[in-house]
Structure 1
Amino acid sequence: MRIVLLLLWLGMSSVSMAADKLHFRDLYGRGGEFSEMAKQKQGQTIRVRGYMAPPIKAQAAFFVLTKMPMSYCPFCESEADWPADIMLVKTDDIIDVVPYNQPIYVTGQLEIGTQVDEETGFLSRVRLVHAEFETAK
């Protein structure tokens, strides 16, 4: 039984273990430009710790990840006002919302560069796509 549980745990955590850790502070260099590290990690699977901002709409397959807990929508700003400590997270399924002050780990493929989402019209500079998340212990 212990072996079965160990194998299940290893299988479930393989995505997070294979991903490189990235911190919000690693995304930008001077003047709001993307850092060399962010450019090198583009397209790769990374893992980021943060907080889920309150959802912009119900039954969504995306959310905003913030460095610190936020009780409002930081994602609804122009690029000029874009904070350096948030990113858009796109999942393959509808998300289960967690409280805005509950830390989470998100694993997904890093995309950088300004983009306006066709479906919602929202602007993003940093995205994690095909992402999964889990609450931090």
Structure 2
Amino acid sequence: MRAKDVTGIIGEEIAADYLSRQGHQILERRWRGVRGELDLITRDGAQLVAVEVKTRRGEGYGHPFEAIGTAKLARLHRLLLDYCVARHWLHMQRRVDVIAVLLSGAAEAHAEEHLVQRLEHLRDVS
């Protein structure tokens, strides 16, 4: 597995743990639909939440949030709608959140051994 893929999976695990502590129920990890993949799908109270996780080992390529442009955001909203259609949950309120995780530590180590330098959570990104 490529180092960037390992980094992404570690970030998703850290984000899922964080969201669970915030009261979210994790429904899906790496859900794949016909048009793409959502990193996490959670339930936060009455809302269904698609969570995009961007993980970096530094800001050499810019802040993780910079990777979310208008096209990517529109795609995330479409994917969440696809998920709702597949589950017959069109009646549910829904939103898209983005989590940025900045790590330090070796790519080969397990997630518990990574130091989270910073975790930022943007809610209801539109």
TM-score range with shorter-chain normalisation?
under 0.3
Structure with greater helix percent: 2
Q: Greater Rg, structure 1 or structure 2?
A: 1
Normalized against structure 1, the TM-score is what? 0.25
